[in-house]
Amino acid sequence: MHPGAWWVWALGLGVAASRTTNPLLLGLLVAVAGYVVAARRTEAPWARSYGAFVKIALVVLGVRLVFAVLLGSPIPGSHVLVTLPEVPLPDWAQGVRIGGRVTAEGLVFALYDGLKLATLLICVGAANALANPSRLLKSLPGALYEAGVAVVVALTFAPNLITDVRRLRSARRLRGRPDRGLRGLLQVGLPVLEGALERSVALAAAMDARGYGRTADVPAPVRRLTAALTLGGLLGVCAGTYGVLGAAGAGYALPLLALGTAAALGGLWLGGRRSVRTRYRPDAWGARAWLVAGSGTVVAVALIRFGSLDPDALRPGVVPLTAPELPLWPALAILAGLLPALIAPAPVRPGEPAPGPRKDTRP
């Protein structure tokens, strides 16, 4: 499976999550992402980062609720749950309060808002757990190769760090030494940092041995044209995206977005002429990759379209306080995101034979 297909699928779920605050739809998106990750992730180090993203999402949700309790909410409410002591603030801090009334409407609004951000984090974590970062680096254009290397190193640092900590803690438990508390943390931290330094030196040596950083000679006019196309294309993409999201730019947004995308792609193609690297066994974007990417795109397009037809179903109100309802068609569209769990290649578990025809080894 092409790693870019997993990112398109996950970004489609993330776009769908950004279009709604309905907790039922957000919970369905989280369930879809979690099921696909459980069914199709491998035993690689980066695949274990999904649990960390889930924990970060729960922390974000908790912080949002704490802020709503301590700092109040802009949503007026009549159902007062508790009244906290309010800290008096000066006149220049009008509109800001610390403490005071905590209403059920304000807490529900904060829950909806925090759940949307938590769902976005979980969707990004699903892409990190399913897509091989090194294979994704091979698929980048030549102009983005240097930036891609930095992103891949950053994405793989945390999983490798977690793997080192688990390995060292297991070794200390086998030797009968403490692995918890401040003492255990200090005695584990130094070997972890030493291992990170050794990996950095080995990575630098491997990159230098493979000729990383070499560039081809490109004429000055081509370099200036490349910079103009890339910068102008990115500005066009930003302006077009802003017009698509806003209500006033519906007329010029799509043509400007298409023109900016074409200019940026042209700049990336010209910029790739400076790269002299080659690709060994490039990943092919096959039928399965199209289906996986298409399932995430269908979810995003369906939620955007339904949001313009019935926005109240995707963004339930909290004043008056009512229970949210599950809209049928958006829920069915989200279930289309389960398609990768059925068509993506099954991961090979440790101890299992690799897929493919078996060879007859009998004499």
What is the block-wise mean pLDDT of the chain (363 residues), using blocks of 10 residues? Answer: 89 90 94 94 80 92 90 79 80 74 87 93 91 73 65 63 74 74 67 72 71 68 81 84 62 79 81 64 83 93 87 85 88 93 78 50 49
| Enclosing H/E stretch for 102 | strand 98-103
Is the domain of 92 the same as that of 112? yes
Is the domain of 291 the same as that of 242? no
Which of 61, 48, 29 has its CA nearest to residue 125? 48
Of 254, 274, 294, the domain-final residue: 274
Is the domain of 127 the same as that of 88? yes
Is the domain of 266 the same as that of 296? no
In a domain, 109, yes or no: yes
Is the domain of 298 the same as that of 339? yes
Q: Which token pair is 51? A: 């649990």
Which of 333, 329, 341, 260 has its CA nearest to residue 301? 333
Q: How many domains does the chain have?
A: 2
Packing angle, helices 3-18 and 287-309, rounded to 10:
10
Is the domain of 222 the same as that of 312? no
In a domain, 167, yes or no: no
Host domain of residue 253: 216-274
- Tracing tokens 């945390």 back to the chain, one arrives at 158
Is the domain of 270 the same as that of 238? yes
In a domain, 47, yes or no: yes
Is the domain of 40 the same as that of 121? yes
Distance separating alpha carbons of residues 200 and 168, to the nearest angstrom = 19
Is the domain of 75 the same as that of 129? yes
pTM of the predicted protein model? 0.72
Q: How many CA atoms lie within 13 A of 314 on its CB side?
A: 21
pLDDT at 359: 47
Of 246, 274, 302, the domain-final residue: 274
In a domain, 269, yes or no: yes
pLDDT at 54: 93
In a domain, 198, yes or no: no
In a domain, 171, yes or no: no
In a domain, 68, yes or no: yes
Is the domain of 266 the same as that of 325? no
Is the domain of 235 the same as that of 302? no
In a domain, 293, yes or no: yes
Is the domain of 120 the same as that of 224? no
pLDDT at 360: 46
pLDDT at 84: 81
